[in-house]
Amino acid sequence: MAERGGAVAALAARFREGKPLITAWCGIPEPSVAGLLAAEGFDTVTLDMQHGAHDFDSISRTVALVAARGKPTLARVPVGGFATVSRLLDAGISGIIAPMVNTVEDARRFAALAKYPPLGERSWGPAPALMLSGLSPETYLKEANGFCQTLAMIETREALAVLDDILAVDGIDGIFIGPSDLSIALSNGAGLDPDGAAVRDALKHAMARTRAAGKRIGIYSLSGPRTRELIAEGFDLIALSGDGALLRAGAAAALKEARG
């Protein structure tokens, strides 16, 4: 049975089911790339505006292709790109990942632009989201704060130190860990070790605090084996590699078969 609100509301609905979700991660700003990945077994697709080449135009042209597969779309905004949040949600994005949320004030500003009153300050104008959801304007307004998900990225010592306070912000639905940036921060720039002991200890702490707050936790993963570990550890959302890496891996595998 299709979720009420269609693909726009599907992310929150699937989070409530309690099953781990694996998202494709797309930085190539060609809508057909995300559409092809949505046709595979991924639970959702994430479009990257921070380190990927997506912008509002490419995202607005991509959401419907992913929704046609009955799947929700997330977007990662640039650092400090909170002004983009409302427009992305209006376009039918189901969840926003905001990088480098290091303070409670960062979290509050993020939530304010993602949620309608009384939780936030989001202004009205979700024409594409209304079409994709099939909801009436009144119903969308009433329910959007519940299904438009906000995930604050935790990537620094500063953010870890105030994690409980960030999680306590009304309108923040959960967090998303960037293990590479976190490894750089925890080593004071000495190295890149996203699977190292320091990061794994930080992940255990973040998981415990997020579960205590009753919220969601996601993370980026570089490989299938690591993704299986993260699923076993209880993460709600795992990004499996990126579209460029998947394209290269597929090409390498095909060439190996072709050339023996």
Other C-beta atoms lying within 10 Å of the C-beta of residue 241:
18
Amino acid, res. 99: P
Catalytically annotated residue among 51, 204, 228, 248: 51
> Based on the number of CB atoms within 10 Å of its own CB, is 185 exposed (0-12), middle (13-18) or buried (19 or more)?
buried
User: CA 63 to CA 45: how far, in whole Å?
Assistant: 9
Q: Among residues 54, 56, 16, which one has the least CA distance to residue 33? A: 54
> 3-state DSSP call for residue 149?
strand
User: CA 253 to CA 232: how far, in whole Å?
Assistant: 27
Residue 54 a catalytic site member: no
**54 contacts 79 by C-beta, under 8 angstroms:** no
> 3-state DSSP call for residue 170?
coil
The residues annotated as belonging to the active site are: 51
